[in-house]
Structure 1
Amino acid sequence: MKTAKNAGRSGAARSARAAAREPGVSQRNLAYESFRQQILSARIRPGQFVSQRELMRLLDMPLGAVREMIPRLEAARLIVTVPKRGLQIAPVDLKLIRNAFQVRAMIEREAVLNFVRHASDEELTRIEQQHRDILARATSGKPDSRLDDDAQAADWGLHDTMIDAMGNEILSEIYRVNSLHVRLIRLDADQVRPMRVVPAMQEHLKFIDALRARDERRAVDAVAEHIENSRERVITAMLGGGAPAREARSSS
């Protein structure tokens, strides 16, 4: 029987093998993609120490590819080298939260302005229905083992779609690296998971409504509010749910 750890590793390996079928993909890029998948599937945790050989086994990649990948991870601040201890997955603190959500807000503002002008009515209808379906499942009171994964796919799928619709590969890459930081932040605040689906879907529907109305100002305000609320949910969860998020924000 596969353990959860082995299942996560094999899933990342499958993603890497799928990428390997694309022409011109280097071993270093395959290793990076596998690392990214490990974050997305919560197999790599913030603050975790790993050796190069542990990464080699975790990513199912040769040591040379792992060594070539590490400078890219360091440049993106996803890994830091700690003297005498080795490689550490980026630890989460209030500074990282502030920086990651600030970058997200800046890029998504431009993405929303573009999307409100160019997204088709059919695409917006499909996105809205997807969110309403998730919200209905979240409020049904029925056990749903797939709800969190499906909600995350809908949540990040909308944001990624808006970013990619700008057609700017540089911004898309910056956004995706920053998204990995946001994922690490959320992994460090597991308490936020059960409390995020309903408000996240409701906030998305609010700015989807503005998108469908082609109301630029309302759409920008709604996505800014959503990002700020996401940040506050994370901070509140990390502080144990007792300290006001706004107080933490003022000190970050």
Structure 2
Amino acid sequence: MNIATHPAPTSLRAQAYENFQQQIVAATIRPGQFISQRELMQLLGMPLGAVRELIPRLEAEGLLKTVPQRGLQIAHVDLALVNNAFQLRQVLEREAAVRFAASVSDRDLAAIEQAHLDIVRRARSSPLSDQLLDDAHRVDWGLHDLMIDTLGNGLISEAHRINSLRVRLIRLETSSHSALMLIPAMEEHLWFIDALKRRDPQAVVERLSHHIESSHRRALGLALPDLPRNGRSTG
């Protein structure tokens, strides 16, 4: 007798966490915002029990805290959060990028490059729209996520995903990934992809570090760093 097997259903708590992530990505939840448990329940479309189970995880990850007499507060963006989040990006992504450069196929790199070129083309040929910005964010983070996952280390991937939510909150607070920055950010990625295509580990690390430091400085409202000596913009 054949017995059909089915994957175990995703727990309500896991679904609530995924919904919370999507609210950050969609900018529905804002840094520093106060929200009640019931409001969070309605926003996530989840039962109160799942939301109550979710809160300790969000608090442990620094994405939310309970404030007596006021309720729940989404992570407040301050100097320490900005510096710590971008320093963690440097630590996590440098090794991942070198590993990625050695393992990614030419075909996949060509597809990644083309996705970036398409965003730049659209940004230059038509007015910027919410859809274009959303697509650009997916292309941007898609490359970083893919590099991290190449390490094959679930703990590192999880740390990266949590930190990426912090970075998204930072960008919401500082407008460091606004429409005006879309083309420069994509061109930085293309400059980095050029090093990946050449399988040059030194250039890969230098260009990735420069890209992350540029994002860090944008978040702080500082002047961008000079290009490395062997730097060459593709834009």
- TM-score normalised by L of structure 2: 0.89
1:22 offset after TM fit, Å? 5.7
Aligned to 2:45: 60
1:232 offset after TM fit, Å? 1.2
Counterpart contact for 2:119–2:132, Cα < 8 Å: yes
Aligned to 2:178: 193
**2-structure distance, mates of 1:206, 1:197:** 14
Aligned to 2:3: none
Q: Percent identity?
A: 56
Q: How does 1:115-194 map to 2 (within 5 A)?
A: 115-140=100-125, 142-145=126-129, 146-190=131-175, 192-194=177-179
Deviations for 1:108-156, whole angstroms, at most 9, x for unmatched residues? 001101101100000000001111111122223x224222111111100
Equivalenced residue count is 219
1:84 to 66, 69, 72: 69
Counterpart contact for 1:131–1:154, Cα < 8 Å: yes
Counterpart contact for 1:235–1:245, Cα < 8 Å: no
Q: Cα distance 1:245–1:219, how it changes in 2: closer, same or farther (>3 A)?
A: closer
Aligned to 2:83: 98
1:245 offset after TM fit, Å? 7.2
Q: Cα distance 1:22–1:197, how it changes in 2: closer, same or farther (>3 A)?
A: farther
- TM-score normalised by L of structure 1: 0.83
**1-structure distance, mates of 2:116, 2:214:** 18
**Greater percentage in helix:** 1
**1-structure distance, mates of 2:179, 2:128:** 12
Two-structure CA RMSD over aligned residues (Å) = 1.6
Counterpart contact for 2:214–2:224, Cα < 8 Å: no
Q: Does 2:22 match 1:32?
A: no
Deviations for 1:167-189, whole angstroms, at most 9, x for unmatched residues? 11110000000000000000112
**2-structure distance, mates of 1:50, 1:226:** 34
1:192 offset after TM fit, Å? 4.1
Aligned to 1:10: none
Aligned to 2:233: none
The aligned amino acid for 1:165 is T
**2-structure distance, mates of 1:55, 1:37:** 13
The aligned amino acid for 1:92 is V
1:139 aligns to what SS in structure 2? helix
The aligned amino acid for 1:120 is S
The aligned amino acid for 2:74 is I
Moved over 2 A (4+): 21-24, 243-246
**2-structure distance, mates of 1:88, 1:108:** 29
The aligned amino acid for 1:177 is I
**2-structure distance, mates of 1:191, 1:224:** 17
The aligned amino acid for 2:38 is R
**2-structure distance, mates of 1:95, 1:189:** 14
The aligned amino acid for 2:57 is R
**2-structure distance, mates of 1:199, 1:191:** 12
**2-structure distance, mates of 1:126, 1:191:** 27
Mark the runs of 5 or more structure 2 residues left unpaired by the alignment: 1-5, 226-235
